[in-house]
Amino acid sequence: MSETTRSIYGAKDPVELPAYGLVDAARLLRLPTATVRAWTLGQRYAKGAKLFRPVVEIADRSERMLSFRNLVELHILSAIRREYGVSLQSVRKAVDFMRKRLRTEHPLASRRMLTDGKDLLIEHGENLLNASRGGQGELKIVEACLQRIEFSKSGALQRFYPFTTTSPEHDEHSVVIDPRVQFGRPCLRDTGIPTEVVNERFLAGESPAAIAVDYGVDLTRVLDAVRFEGVVRAA
């Protein structure tokens, strides 16, 4: 971490800082707020029933605030749920299993998830993914999500590219969330320009083409940013 980053964040790693409320996280990830709440705070399925432990340990439970690392964890959990519709209990068991095998509290947001993690999800069993050792082709959605997470050479979590379309396998990396840029607000990739700013210019009547020229980026990125903001605001 650079000296500038240290001074801004008080020597703390911005990846771990509580920066997103439950509603904000749900909007950025295009998830129901109730789902984010269940995965991070636990869930009681019926009156008087046992409260199931949360799947993700969030940065500030008392204030219900999530860190950037938590966003990435929810991103992967969303992929598993979307593809296989597994229960909260099954997902939690898989994460507990991976914590032990990968020896990390945040296995879904670790670089090892890109390699060992995929095998462990398969190994953990038919009850979770209905996949065998030879069934990695069935994990296309999960793999597409993993490819949107960026790590440094040392394995440190760096940035995340949220989806801007409904096609995970072909979605461009137009929008980026980097905890060290704009305090973790979604931005146009390689520019540091918040997507919210791009969308405000569009809503004010400027054409996407003119905005693209002004920022020196491809038109596709501007359109993706506008689409992303439209979905986020509608959530």
CATH code, domain carrying 234: 1.10.10.10
214 lies in a domain?
yes
The band of 196, judged by pLDDT with boundaries at 50, 70 and 90, is very high
Q: Residue with structure tokens 């050792």?
A: 133
14 assigned to some structural domain = no
Containing structural domain, residue 221: 162-235
In this structure, is residue 10 part of a structural domain?
A: no
CA 15 to chain centroid: 12
80 belongs to a structural domain:
no
Taking a C-beta distance cutoff of 8 angstroms, is the pair 17, 67 a contact? yes
- Under the banding of pLDDT at 50, 70 and 90, the label for residue 166 is confident
Residue scoring higher pLDDT (175 or 125): 175
Q: Which residue, among 182, 217, 210, has the nearest Cα to 196 in the 3D structure?
A: 182
Q: What does the alpha-carbon distance between residue 7 and residue 162 come to, in Å, rounded to a whole number?
A: 28
Is the model more confident about 113 or about 148? 148
Q: Is residue 232 part of a domain?
A: yes
**What is the rounded CA–CA span in Å between residue 53 and residue 47?**
16
Per residue in 112-137, pLDDT (tens digit) is 766 555 555 555 544 444 332 334 44
The structure's pTM equals 0.80
The number of domains in the chain is 1
Residue 213 resides in a domain:
yes
Q: What percent of the chain has pLDDT over 90?
A: 43
Whether 103 maps to a domain, the answer reads: no
Quick: pLDDT tens for 95-115. 787 788 778 888 888 777 665
CB atoms within 10 A of CB 219: 14
Beta strands in 37-102 (DSSP E): 43-44, 51-52, 65-66
